[in-house]
Amino acid sequence: MPNNFLFDLLGPLYDHVISPKETEALHAPLNLPSDGWLLDIGGGTGRASAGLLDSIDHLVICDLSLPMLQEAKEKGIHNLVQASVTHLPFAADTFNRMMVIDALHHMPNQQESVGQMLRALKPGGRLLIEEPDIHLFGVKLIALVEKLALMKSTIHPPDKIKAMAESHGGKVSLDSDGKGSAWVMVDKQAPGSQN
Ligand SMILES: C[S@@+](CC[C@H](N)C(=O)[O-])C[C@H]1O[C@@H](n2cnc3c(N)ncnc32)[C@H](O)[C@@H]1O
């Protein structure tokens, strides 16, 4: 089981120390509203996905940290799964939408993790990965601080995340939130579709 001690410790404090997420901005890159199921991977306290409950039929948050998930429960989110992205306990082709907000760089073996995500995404579905843009000086500084704090995180540039998703057959486009985060939007092609 990967080490997630810091988030276990931070769980009860997380929403007090991290600024709230403007979820409205996630509608376009996630192609919402949508029918069906949204999976928030590394979704923690639901900071980013709780505001999307009206834009999807069902929301599931999957996270390694039970204390983080307990905060999501307080927000009235009931579909909570404690699991690592490296072993997602979901059948193939299940979710219409997926999001990974500010979490991929904390996950082990990101190439394999992105493959796990795409396996559980429905053909025709959309995965949004939001990561701090490592090209920015401030983000480089954060990456250094996380290394010094022995957090084992690795922030990859958007092009590298794009290549990871493409290696698993995803069709990828890049954008940014205009506030220092990169958006990697991955569409899972329906079998037999071109491009
Ligand atoms: C910085 S927090 C982001 C939480 C949430 N996405 C947000 O934007 O508020 C990173 C989250 O990733 C989770 N995480 C780290 N490694 C994980 C793994 N291997 N599988 C699932 N979740 C993981 C942590 O427990 C933590 O809740």
* pLDDT digits 0-9 by tens, 49-74: 999 999 999 999 999 999 999 999 99
Q: What domains appear along the chain, each with residue ranges and CATH number? A: 35-188 (3.40.50.150)
Two structure tokens written together for 175:
């954008």
Q: Whose CA is nearest to atom 2 of ligand 1?
A: 103
Mean pLDDT (the chain) is: 94
Whole-number Å distance, alpha carbon 67 to ligand 1 midpoint, is: 11
State if residue 131 touches ligand 1 by the CB under 6 angstroms criterion. no
DSSP 3-state assignment of 9? helix
* Beta strands per DSSP E along the chain: 37-41, 58-63, 80-82, 95-101, 121-132, 170-176, 181-188
Residues 92-140: tens digit of each pLDDT: 999 999 999 999 999 999 999 999 999 999 999 999 999 999 888 888 8
Check residue 14 and give its pLDDT: 97
Q: Whose CA is nearest to atom 25 of ligand 1?
A: 65
Q: Is the pLDDT of residue 3 over 70?
A: no
Classify 83 in phi/psi space as left (phi over 0), alpha (psi -120 to 50) or beta: beta
Pocket perturbation via mutation, ligand 1, pick of 45, 59, 65, 145 by most ligand atoms within 8 A of CB: 65
State if residue 64 touches ligand 1 by the CB under 6 angstroms criterion. yes
Two structure tokens written together for 130:
């939001």
Q: How many CB atoms are closer than 10 A to CB 78?
A: 10
Check residue 193 and give its pLDDT: 76
Q: What is the pTM of this model?
A: 0.95
